[in-house]
Structure 1
Amino acid sequence: MNLDTTTWFFIIAAVILLILLIAGIVMSSNSEGNLVESRLGEYLEESNEGRKGDESSVLTEWVNKRVEKSSRGDKIKQSLARADLQFKVSEYFALVVISITLSALVAGFLGGRSIFSFGIGGVLGGFAPGMYVGNQQKKRLKNFDGQLPDMINLMVNGLRAGYSTMQAMEAISKELPPPISDEFRRVVQEMQLGVPMGRALDNLLRRIPSPDLDFMVTAINVQREVGGNLAEILDTISFTIRERIRIKGEIQVLTSQVRTSAKILSFVPIALALFLWFFNNEYMRGIFDAGRAPGFGALGCGLMLIGIGYFVMMRIADIEV
């Protein structure tokens, strides 16, 4: 087996492992089993006694306990919950390490085994899991916000029919589709376990950081303290939220060209530079002919200008409602 065949063997093996890794992430994120139970303990600050039956290794549990105590681990745990991904913090860190390793190997072999190629692959692999989690958060939050007006209307109808607030929330968990049904099922189960309604709603707001949901939760908490017709209050809130969604949709349409231009103009130069580095390495190495300092300085200036342009264009398109 010659050298070229060996190189391609490692590349193909790394790509297959990366595909299997992505498939595992997707299957895990779409799994329905034990979804509520795996998250309730985290937000109720319960002990891990109910999780002793898990098939996790001793090493995984040991690492998970150490990592979750840090502030970084707490933020990652919150991000995973918001994205509805059934990963422990230690498993997420293991995923990052695997992603960095595989990406560095693929990039290193494609880039002529240069240390810069390994570094580029490692950086891209390190950012990939975080970008995936962030994308899942945005998609889930967008779906939740889109279902919120219908949820409030269903809750208003339930209250007017004589339901209690908890019964109305239970009806929401049964009648509406995910993700809003999953979240209110968690709220109902927390309340059934003895958690006060205010704390259960605060936990919901921590999982779903939506301004519209915050508006609704505040109204419910105020009504519980001072009284009043909750159905009328929520009916008014539902109208307000629908109008906000309509205006946001119009703004999204009007500013879509600016946002698309910002993404394309920022992505194309970086993608082209990476393509040339891996598939025409000698040409790209010419930037370092005058020395590494001028070469890295030029690259740094280019990235800085691209970042400034992207930030300015996105700020122009960012109109608050």
Structure 2
Amino acid sequence: MNLLPLILIGLLLSAGVLLLLLALVMRRRSVSVDDRLAQITGGAQQQDAAVDLRARVDAIVSKTERGSRIGRDLARADLKLTAGEFVMLKMGSAVLVGLVAAWLSSQFLGTFSLPAAAGALLFGGVLGSFLPDLYVKIRARSRITKFNDALADTCAMLASSLRSGYSLLQAMDLVAREGSGPVATEFRRVVQEVGLGLSTEKALENLYRRVPSEDLDLMITAINIQHEVGGNLSAILESIAHTIRERVRIKGEIRTLTAQGRISGYIITGLPVALAIFLSLINPGYMAPIFTFGFPPNAWCCLPVTSGVMIVAGYFAIMKIVNIDI
């Protein structure tokens, strides 16, 4: 049985899904202000089928608890996607990676095996569905790290602005205009939310939801307490800036001291996988018995699954040892 035509059709379908999603995102971004106002007032024209499908998916996903978590994670990663669009992206990624895994399995074995192709398709589909989540988490973690690195200078800027006679909102607007990176983006959003009618406490609470940082929580708590009982906010922010700088310095020293352990974890985790891929490429027949389905399926099930579980468990154990919280 030749699997190549089926895989090519699947690849084209998955590519079409991804292109459709991209077109929907670009169309949503290019909608003019007049069109959006017409939609709000009820004067909008009838939407086409693709946009209506996206709206239906957004409506279904946003009503679930999973949809709210997806929206929160997308906000933390600063991705201009809705929860429904992200779910469609996950589905397209699952189909694409699953078909690629099925094709690779047939190439490694040298012949088509339905059980092996089905297992590779299932494994690749599950892996592909998690790839967008992994990208969002990595992007959000990187963004929070950049925010934390600049938060000490931000507190110092706020303190200086308050000392010179600015109000807190004016000081935040100065940070939004003079800052850069995630700090400027997030404080600009805080100023915009306050301008739209939210209280400062609620806007700062939304900021912490988008950037879950312990240092930011310390700053927000100090601002809220100062609003309740009064006090010299500029002096408090200066003290917080000094505390944040010391924490960043200590974290950097700890990260330097634990670098060897982290690199060891990466090498120990990646070496078996890289070696298996390399041997499969240069000599597919040598690795074929491991992935050959039999009765009982001792090699096909036990060896790869047990090896994968042990590799993942060892990686998390090493990361738990070298991850020191302060």
Q: Say yes or no: does 1:305 pair with 2:292.
A: no
TM-superposed CA distance for 1:71, in Å, is 0.8
Residues 104-253 of structure 1: pairs in structure 2 closer than 5 A? 104-112=98-106, 113=112, 114-253=117-256
Higher mean alpha-carbon deviation, 267-276 vs 159-168, is at 267-276
Higher mean alpha-carbon deviation, 300-309 vs 201-210, is at 300-309
**Count of aligned pairs:** 299
TM-superposed CA distance for 1:285, in Å, is 3.4
Instruction: Decide whether aligned partners of structure 1 residues 8 and 58 sit closer, same or farther in structure 2, where only a CA change above 3 A counts.
Output: closer
* Residues 7 and 99 in structure 2, CA contact (< 8 A), matched pair in contact too: no
* Residues 107 and 278 in structure 1, CA contact (< 8 A), matched pair in contact too: no
Cα displacement string for residues 140-164 of structure 1 (whole angstroms, at most 9, x for unaligned residues): 1111111111111110110000000
Instruction: Decide whether aligned partners of structure 1 residues 126 and 50 sit closer, same or farther in structure 2, where only a CA change above 3 A counts.
Output: farther
Residue in structure 1 matching 2:59, options 60, 65, 78:
65
Give the structure 1 partner of residue 109 of structure 2: none
Residue in structure 1 matching 2:288, options 285, 288, 308:
285
Q: Secondary structure at the match of 2:181?
A: coil
Cα displacement string for residues 21-59 of structure 1 (whole angstroms, at most 9, x for unaligned residues): 6xx69xx89xxx79xx9xxxxxxxxxx949997997111
Residue in structure 1 matching 2:87, options 73, 88, 93:
93
* Residues 159 and 231 in structure 1, CA contact (< 8 A), matched pair in contact too: yes
Q: Distance in 2 between matches of 1:265 and 1:51?
A: 60
Structure whose CA Rg is larger: 2
* Residues 73 and 89 in structure 1, CA contact (< 8 A), matched pair in contact too: yes
Q: Distance in 2 between matches of 1:50 and 1:128?
A: 39
Instruction: Decide whether aligned partners of structure 1 residues 69 and 191 sit closer, same or farther in structure 2, where only a CA change above 3 A counts.
Output: same
* Residues 176 and 184 in structure 2, CA contact (< 8 A), matched pair in contact too: yes
Q: Secondary structure at the match of 1:212?
A: helix
Q: Distance in 1 between matches of 2:161 and 2:314?
A: 50
TM-score, length of structure 2 as denominator length: 0.81
CA RMSD of aligned residues (A): 3.3
Q: Secondary structure at the match of 2:257?
A: helix
Q: Secondary structure at the match of 2:81?
A: coil
TM-superposed CA distance for 1:100, in Å, is 1.1
Q: Distance in 2 between matches of 1:284 and 1:206?
A: 48
Q: Distance in 2 between matches of 1:11 and 1:318?
A: 45
Q: Say yes or no: does 1:316 pair with 2:314.
A: no
Instruction: Decide whether aligned partners of structure 1 residues 98 and 159 sit closer, same or farther in structure 2, where only a CA change above 3 A counts.
Output: same
Instruction: Decide whether aligned partners of structure 1 residues 206 and 59 sit closer, same or farther in structure 2, where only a CA change above 3 A counts.
Output: same
Unaligned ranges ≥5, structure 1? 38-47
Q: Secondary structure at the match of 2:165?
A: coil
TM-superposed CA distance for 1:275, in Å, is 5.3
Cα displacement string for residues 239-258 of structure 1 (whole angstroms, at most 9, x for unaligned residues): 00000001101111111111
Cα displacement string for residues 245-303 of structure 1 (whole angstroms, at most 9, x for unaligned residues): 01101111111111111122112223433555577554333135673145412333222
TM-score, length of structure 1 as denominator length: 0.83
Instruction: Decide whether aligned partners of structure 1 residues 314 and 9 sit closer, same or farther in structure 2, where only a CA change above 3 A counts.
Output: closer
Q: Distance in 1 between matches of 2:316 and 2:189?
A: 38
Q: Which amino acid counterpart does residue 83 of structure 2 have in structure 1?
A: V
Instruction: Decide whether aligned partners of structure 1 residues 107 and 131 sit closer, same or farther in structure 2, where only a CA change above 3 A counts.
Output: same
Q: Which amino acid counterpart does residue 119 of structure 1 have in structure 2?
A: L
Residue in structure 2 matching 1:273, options 254, 272, 276:
276
Q: Percent identity?
A: 39
Give the structure 1 partner of residue 264 of structure 2: 261
Q: Distance in 1 between matches of 2:252 and 2:41?
A: 44
* Residues 11 and 99 in structure 2, CA contact (< 8 A), matched pair in contact too: no
